[in-house]
């Protein structure tokens, strides 16, 4: 297992590489180029500069999150081939700079959706939360709420220049149901796999967050069967998964432990996002509201020991990162991506891993 930490770049956030370097056990950064518009080729010089900056601080850069997919590819428009060609070139450029894993998602229009970016917990910390009834019917209203709640940060997948045309984006998907979206994902994967094989770069799809439909948009990476379909449809290790425990478990019907075990054994999990969530109303049938809890098992609904064991005991040797953290100790910044709580997450996951290594784990 290689412990990593997501970092948006020195001009995008105030957390520094030297701070990250001081979190025990973190060996690498999960990086990105936030200023390349979706669909364009990531310039090699810019990737190399990022790599150099990260390495100068004693960390490595082997994972990218995310190289986002242009909506024309997801919607299957004729113009997709040009964007796919760009994506292939981006993979080559990343490979030349030593990148092994690319995280991406295939969610139409939006990346993750939450109802609150600043949900207060009894201990005074703030976290991300999802309450179904707080999600407006009109996505424009959600967009307005996000713009005021993000304190000036651009959330990945919520680029203002793209979402300025929200209606047009929604129109693109009018005819795209789950079947069409699946076909479009396979078309994309088949086109890029030869480049991945040649460059030894593993693709790792992030599950839909939340793993069910919102605003009538199709969702195709929601559960065990979807992941199984993905792996079988393009049957190579280069077609892999970012297993995000929080996202998968947002549907309480998903058995996150069994999914981790199965796909680790199948060698398809190249990257793991490890976080805990707490279901708010587990007693109400069908209710899926949750907030993102501290990583510690007793603070949430997931058993983190079982989660880490599922990876450890099945030979996981990919990249791990703590997922979103709460805002604690007066920290302010990008929602979900403070320094302190994520550092606590790293320490805790490392502690579980060490215990498994020393006693009990296979
Ligand atoms: C949230 C993340 C997602 C993830 C993308 C991957 O913080 O887990 O935004 O980066 O969905 O493409
Ligand atoms: Mn995640």
For residue 8, the tally of other CB atoms under 10 A from its CB is 20
> Which ligand places an atom closest to the C-alpha of 111?
1
Cα(322) to centroid of ligand 2, in Å? 9
Provide the residue count of the chain.
362
pLDDT tens by residue, 188-234: 999 999 999 999 999 999 999 999 999 999 999 999 999 999 999 99
Query: Omega into 206 within 30° of 0, i.e. cis?
Result: no
Concerning whether 165 is annotated as a catalytic residue, the answer is no
pLDDT tens by residue, 103-160: 999 999 988 899 998 999 999 999 999 999 999 888 888 877 776 655 555 666 677 7
> C-alpha 213: how far from its chain's center?
17
Q: Quick one: 122 exposed, middle or buried, by C-beta within 10 A (0-12, 13-18, 19+)?
A: exposed
Of 119, 337, 341, 348, the catalytic one is 337
Averaged pLDDT, groups of 10, the chain, 362 residues long? 97 95 98 95 98 98 97 97 98 98 96 91 96 88 72 64 81 95 98 98 97 94 98 98 98 97 98 97 95 97 98 97 95 93 98 93 53
Concerning whether 295 is annotated as a catalytic residue, the answer is no
Q: Which residues pair with 320 in a beta bridge?
A: 3, 272
Between CA 136 and CA 183 the distance in angstroms is 30
Atom of ligand 1 nearest to the CA of 156: 9
The residue whose CA has the least distance to atom 12 of ligand 1 is 104
CATH 3.20.20.150 matches 2-359: yes
Sorted by where each begins, the domain ranges of the chain are 2-359
**pTM exceeds 0.90, yes or no:** yes
Concerning whether 312 is annotated as a catalytic residue, the answer is no
């Amino acid at each position: 297992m290689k412990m990593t930490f997501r970092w948006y770049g020195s001009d995008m956030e105030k957390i520094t590489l030297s701070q990250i370097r001081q979190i025990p056990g973190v060996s690498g950064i999960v990086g990105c180029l936030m200023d390349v518009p979706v669909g364009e080729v990531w310039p090699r010089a810019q990737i190399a500069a990022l790599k150099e900056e990260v390495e100068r601080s004693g960390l490595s850069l082997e994972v990218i999150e995310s190289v986002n997919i242009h909506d024309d590819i997801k919607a299957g428009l004729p113009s997709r081939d040009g964007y796919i060609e760009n994506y292939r070139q981006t993979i080559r450029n990343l490979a030349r700079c030593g990148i092994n894993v690319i995280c991406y998602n295939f969610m139409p229009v939006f990346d993750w959706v939450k109802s609150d970016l600043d949900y207060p917990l009894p201990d005074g910390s703030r976290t991300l939360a999802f309450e179904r009834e707080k999600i407006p019917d009109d996505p424009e209203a959600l967009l307005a709420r996000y713009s005021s709640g993000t304190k000036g940060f651009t959330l990945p997948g919520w680029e203002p220049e793209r979402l300025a045309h929200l209606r047009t984006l929604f129109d693109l998907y009018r005819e795209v149901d789950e079947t069409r979206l699946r076909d479009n994902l396979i078309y994309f994967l088949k086109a890029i796999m030869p480049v991945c094989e040649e460059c030894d770069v593993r693709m790792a799809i992030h599950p839909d967050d939340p793993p069910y439909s919102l605003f009538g948009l199709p969702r195709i990476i929601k559960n065990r069967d979807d992941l199984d379909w993905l792996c079988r449809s393009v049957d190579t290790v280069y077609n892999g998964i970012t297993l995000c425990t929080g996202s998968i478990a947002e549907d309480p019907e998903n058995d996150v432990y069994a999914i981790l075990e199965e796909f680790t054994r199948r060698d398809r999990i190249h990257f793991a996002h490890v976080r805990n969530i707490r279901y708010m109303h587990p007693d109400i049938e069908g209710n899926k509201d949750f907030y993102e809890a501290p990583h510690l098992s007793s603070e949430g609904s997931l058993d983190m020991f079982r989660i880490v064991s599922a990876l450890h005991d099945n030979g996981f040797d990919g990249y791990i990162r703590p997922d979103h953290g709460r805002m604690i100790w007066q920290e302010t910044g990008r929602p979900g991506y403070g320094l302190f709580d994520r550092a606590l997450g790293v320490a805790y996951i490392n502690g579980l891993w060490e215990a498994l290594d020393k006693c009990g784990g296979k």
